[in-house]
Amino acid sequence: MQLFVNDLTVMDFSYLCPERGMVGESWIVDVLLDGTLNEESMIQDFGVVKKNLKRLIDGYIDHKLLVPAESEQAHIRRDEDSEQVEVRFDLTNDQAIQMYCPAEAYAFIYAPTITMDSVSEYLREVIATHLPDNVDNLTIKLRTEVINTPFYHYTHGLKKHDGNCQRIAHGHRSRVDIITNGNEDLESEAYWAKRWEDIYIASREDQISADALQCQHRLANYDDHVCFAYEAAQGYFEIVLPESICEIIDTDSTVECLAQYIYTQQKQRLPDDSCCVMAYEGVGKGAMVGD
Ligand SMILES: Nc1nc2c(c(=O)[nH]1)N=C([C@H](O)[C@H](O)COP(=O)(O)OP(=O)(O)OP(=O)(O)O)CN2
């Protein structure tokens, strides 16, 4: 017999890809448990399934950077005297992404690439030991939200957040709704989807020079790269990326700030028109600003 729970949780994370760089994602999780009935005549109480599996899935993936640990592009070094981990990931265009962060900011997936298959297999393996004896098998199905309008993938970190959003590289796959003069503005939505296709959104106040980096191994050169760092409650976070995949803004990157940023830029693009922006942060939530 099988028990299913759809929409168990949404995993908001980013992953490293040789071609796309850093990709923000929001994957919806459905689960299927194979088992026999327990003394309550259940495979497992839905309340327990939802609470436990969501906690485990969130703990292993949510708000982390997923590194394909078997990729030739990934170079991983752990500090011997601290919990910091350094990751350099070589991109196909001879540029690189470099991070120096607390270990808990990463999930190392032992696969050559990050795909729904490699992530669901990873989750199945790590969660298997937490299942009750009457459950024989767990299937984790991952899917993206169906969005019929333009959307983007972004990565960011919220250093002031007291939860896991402080991690410098977690992300979202997000739709953006733009209403111009009372009508859906597909052209503007497509403009933002293109501009933020696979973007890292950084705050200007976090920018540092390459000389100030704390990671031990240096790139051959930092031309065309930008560096950001901050200290947050979970520790010290540092990231280096090609400038071409960054948008540097003057504020934090909460979804409220991003809605305001898009709105302000839209007023410059279309000064004579009324405008309303609904910026999403992953699935089903976001911020709205308009006139
Ligand atoms: N008002 C706001 N609240 C939060 C923002 C924000 O921009 N404005 N941002 C975040 C984080 O960036 C985070 O990535 C959001 O993740 P979310 O999945 O919603 O947070 P949780 O994991 O706590 O929620 P789940 O229901 O477990 O998915 C946080 N808040």
Q: Is the ipTM of this complex over 0.90?
A: yes
Q: Is residue 261 part of a domain?
A: no
Whether residue 65 contacts residue 170, with contact meaning beta carbons closer than 8 Å, is answered with yes
Q: Is residue 290 part of a domain?
A: no
- Stated pTM of the model: 0.96
Selection from 25, 11, 15, 24 nearest residue 59 by Cα: 11
Q: Is residue 265 part of a domain?
A: no
Pick the atom of ligand 1 nearest to 10's CA. 28
Q: Is residue 147 part of a domain?
A: yes
CATH code: domain of residue 99: 3.30.479.10
Q: Is residue 283 part of a domain?
A: no
**Ligand 1 pocket check: which of 7, 8, 10, 12 to mutate, most ligand atoms within 8 Å of Cβ?**
12
State whether the beta carbon of 134 lies less than 6 angstroms from ligand 1: no
Determine the distance separating the centroid of ligand 1 and the alpha carbon of 255, expressed in angstroms.
9
Residue 163: domain span: 2-173+213-244
Q: Is residue 193 part of a domain?
A: no
Take atom 15 of ligand 1 and give the residue whose Cα is closest: 165
Take atom 12 of ligand 1 and give the residue whose Cα is closest: 165
Query: In the chain, how many domains are there?
Result: 1
Q: Is residue 252 part of a domain?
A: no
pLDDT values of the chain reduced to their tens digit, one per residue, 291 residues: 999 999 999 999 999 999 999 999 999 999 999 999 999 999 999 999 999 999 999 999 999 999 999 999 999 999 888 889 999 999 998 899 999 999 999 999 999 999 999 999 999 999 989 999 999 999 999 999 999 999 999 999 999 999 999 999 999 999 999 999 999 999 999 999 999 999 999 999 999 999 999 998 889 889 899 999 999 999 999 999 999 999 999 999 999 999 999 999 999 999 999 999 999 999 999 999 999
Q: Is residue 98 part of a domain?
A: yes
Determine the distance separating the centroid of ligand 1 and the alpha carbon of 260, expressed in angstroms.
18
